[in-house]
Amino acid sequence: MAVTKSSSDGAHAGPVMRKALVLFGPPGSGKGTQSKFLVARFGIPQISTGDMLRDHIARRDQIGKSVQARMESGALVRDELVNAMVRERLSQPDCVNGCILDGYPRTRQQAEVLLDLLKELGLSELVIHLVVDYNIIIARISGRRVCPKCGTLYNSSSRPPRVPGVCDRDGENLVIREDDRESVVRERLEAYERQTRPLIDFFRQQGSRLLEVDASHGAPEAIFGQILADLNRLESEVTLGS
């Protein structure tokens, strides 16, 4: 797999990956933003379990009702439910060339289920770990605002709206996402530290390929550049070694 874009005719001119890019990083590390860059570069879909769950809540369906309280308190949703959601999503035709997993897996059980599922689907995993200092995260998340109508994310320091407190796209008043409140952010960081971060070692032990990228400083575009450079290096090492 060459990871550089093979032609310049459009955003989805990326090569076939046949890989699940598994993004790890604490809440606020920029996983969502980097996922969007990866989508544009490689033309494979982003699967964000957080977005899928929020979607259920917005639709007020049964799943939404069953997860709302846990999500608002920063706790994790049941493994069985999230695993079933991901299995169903990964079986869609648009995932045949690979996908970007954002926010999944988050527990050991989810990681084991994922590895089995990828094997079944003939995809291999490549873990990208965004490393960020927790103090930086708290500062970042407390400046985060979202448009309740179109979902655009803003940040008072790194991506401010043109008019403070107002969405550039549709003029809606921006709000703080319920689970971006500081006490909840701390709870989410703890859940990440306790349950999710150890998964990086789990993947390492399973022999998965792993990239560690310093995502504490610099513009999102620069961090993405680093990810691409590391992906390319990893690929050429694999090619040379094979």
Residue 35 near ligand ADP by CB under 6 A: no
Residue 224 structure tokens: 């993405």
The count of other CB atoms within 10 Å of the CB of residue 182 is 11
| Contacts of ligand ADP in 62-101 (CB under 6 A) | 70-71, 74-77, 82
Residue 35 structure tokens: 């996922």
E strand segments, the chain: 19-24, 46-48, 98-102, 124-131, 144-146, 153-155, 209-214
Residue 188 near ligand ADP by CB under 6 A: yes
Residue 27 near ligand ADP by CB under 6 A: yes
Closer of 124 and 195 to ligand ADP (Cβ): 195
What CA–CA distance (Å, rounded) separates 144 from 122? 38
Q: Which residue is nearest to ligand ADP (CB)?
A: 50
149 catalytically annotated:
no
Residue of the chain from 34, 35, 49, 208 that contacts ligand ADP (CB under 6 A)? 49
What CA–CA distance (Å, rounded) separates 239 from 242? 5
Closer of 3 and 127 to ligand ADP (Cβ): 127
Residues found near ligand ADP in the complex (CB under 6 A): 27, 31, 49-50, 53, 70-71, 74-77, 82, 103-104, 106, 110, 179, 188
